[in-house]
C-alpha cells in the first residue's frame, strides 16, 4: 500500500484516538472503504512499526493511547508551521485552475486532517481563512495545463493571443520562464519570438495552446525579473517614470501605509494631505488606480499624465451631461 494512503489513515486514526472516540478496524474500514482485514493490518503496522502506544479496550470496542505524549513523526511540527501550511494551501487552492485545483483538493483533505488533529481549540481550520478576488479573467483548465507543462519542461509554447489593444488574435511562439498570479489572474512572463522581447501574457486571453517539441536555453533570472518587479503593476514597458499623486486629508487617512510598490515614497503635508511617489512604466494601470479615487486624488507629475487624467475626467463628466 502506498505511503500516502497509509499516512492518511494514520492521521485519521491518531486524531480519533486522541479525541477518545476509540477507533477500531471496522470504523477505519468504513472511513477509507477497506476490508476489515486490510484495516486491521494498518492498525498493526501503526502499532508495531511506528511504536504507537495503543491498547484495545474491549468495553469500548476500540483503541486508546496509553501514552498521550506520543506523536507521529510526520506531525511533529509547530503551530506556526501548521498555520503557514494552512494559509499557503488555501491561497494556492483558491487561485489555481483546472486539474491543479483538483489535485490540490485531494491534498487539502489530507492536510486538513493533519491540521485538525494538531491545532489547539475547536475551530475548523478549513473555515478560518479565505481569499477574495475581483476582476478575474478565468483560465481555461486545458490552457493552464499546457502552459505549465511547457514552463516546467523548458519547451517552446505556441498560442493565439488576444490583446485588449487589438481587435484580433495573433499567433505567438514564446519561451516561458515564469508564471505569476496577480490579483487572482494568472500571467505568463515569456520571451516572445514575434516581438523579439519579453512580454506578459494573461492566460485568460490565450487559445489554441500547444507545447512544441523544441527546448530553449533558459535565460538568467536577472533578465526577466526586472520586467516583473521594477515598477507599479503588472503592465510593463522598458522606460520608467515617477508618478506623483496628492491625496486629500480625508483619503490620506485611508491609504496611508498602503504598499503600491516597494520603492514608493510618501510625505504627509501640514494640512494632512499625502503626496505619494510611485515608479511606473505603463500608464494604463496607474491611471485606473488613480481614477478610482476620484476628486480625492490629484496627479502632480508627470505633466503629460496629469493631462491624460484630466481629459479622462472631462470625458466622464460629458457622459452625464444632458
How do the domains of the chain map onto residue ranges? 3-75, 79-128, 141-219, 241-320
Cis before 302? omega within 30: yes
Q: What is the pLDDT of residues 11-58, one digit of tens each?
A: 788 888 888 899 998 998 898 888 999 889 888 888 887 788 888 888
pTM equals 0.57
User: 241-320: what CATH class?
Assistant: alpha beta
- Give me the helix-helix angle, 25-32 and 3-18, nearest 10°: 130
* 141-219 CATH pick, 1.10.490, 2.30.30, 2.130.10, 3.30.2310: 2.30.30
Q: Rounded to whole angstroms, how far apart are CA atoms 292 and 296?
A: 9
Each residue's pLDDT, cut to its tens digit, for the chain (322 residues) gives: 444 456 678 878 888 888 889 999 899 889 888 899 988 988 888 888 778 888 888 898 999 888 877 776 655 455 566 666 666 666 666 665 555 555 655 555 555 555 555 555 555 656 666 666 666 666 788 888 899 889 989 999 999 998 776 667 899 999 999 888 877 778 888 999 998 988 888 888 899 999 998 899 988 888 877 766 665 556 666 678 889 999 999 998 888 877 888 788 899 999 999 999 988 878 888 888 899 899 999 999 999 999 999 999 999 888 888 6
CATH of domain 3-75: 1.10.10
- Taking the C-alpha atoms of residue 269 and residue 298, their distance in angstroms, rounded to an integer, is 14
Amino acid at each position: 500500500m502506498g505511503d500516502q494512503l497509509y499516512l492518511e489513515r494514520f492521521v485519521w486514526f491518531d486524531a480519533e484516538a486522541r479525541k477518545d472516540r476509540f477507533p477500531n478496524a471496522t470504523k477505519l474500514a468504513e472511513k477509507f472503504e477497506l476490508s476489515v482485514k486490510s484495516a486491521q493490518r494498518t492498525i498493526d503496522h501503526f502499532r508495531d512499526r511506528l511504536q504507537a502506544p495503543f491498547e484495545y479496550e474491549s468495553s469500548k470496542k476500540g483503541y486508546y493511547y496509553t501514552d498521550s505524549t506520543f506523536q507521529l513523526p510526520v506531525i511533529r511540527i509547530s503551530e506556526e508551521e501548521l498555520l503557514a501550511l494552512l494559509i499557503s494551501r488555501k491561497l494556492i487552492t483558491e487561485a489555481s485552475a483546472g486539474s491543479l485545483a483538483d489535485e490540490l483538493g485531494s491534498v487539502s483533505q489530507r492536510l486538513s486532517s493533519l491540521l485538525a488533529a494538531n491545532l489547539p481549540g475547536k475551530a475548523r481550520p478549513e473555515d478560518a481563512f479565505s481569499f477574495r478576488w475581483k476582476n478575474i479573467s478565468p483560465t481555461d483548465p486545458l490552457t493552464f495545463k499546457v502552459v505549465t507543462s511547457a514552463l516546467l519542461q523548458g519547451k517552446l509554447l505556441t498560442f493565439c493571443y488576444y490583446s485588449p489593444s487589438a481587435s484580433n488574435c495573433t499567433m505567438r511562439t514564446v519561451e516561458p520562464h515564469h508564471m505569476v498570479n496577480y490579483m487572482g489572474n494568472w500571467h505568463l512572463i515569456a520571451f516572445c519570438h514575434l516581438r523579439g522581447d519579453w512580454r506578459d501574457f494573461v492566460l485568460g486571453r490565450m487559445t489554441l495552446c500547444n507545447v512544441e517539441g523544441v527546448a530553449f536555453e533558459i535565460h538568467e533570472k536577472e533578465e526577466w525579473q526586472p520586467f516583473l518587479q521594477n515598477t507599479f503593476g503588472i503592465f510593463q514597458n522598458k522606460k520608467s517614470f515617477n508618478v506623483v499623486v496628492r491625496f486629500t486629508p480625508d483619503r490620506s487617512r485611508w491609504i496611508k501605509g498602503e504598499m503600491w510598490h516597494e520603492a514608493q515614497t510618501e510625505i504627509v503635508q501640514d494640512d494632512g494631505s499625502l503626496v505619494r511617489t510611485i515608479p511606473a512604466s505603463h500608464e494604463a494601470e496607474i491611471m485606473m488606480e488613480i481614477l478610482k479615487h476620484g476628486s480625492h486624488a490629484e496627479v502632480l507629475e508627470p505633466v503629460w499624465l496629469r493631462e491624460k487624467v484630466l481629459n479622462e475626467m472631462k470625458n466622464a463628466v460629458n457622459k452625464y451631461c444632458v
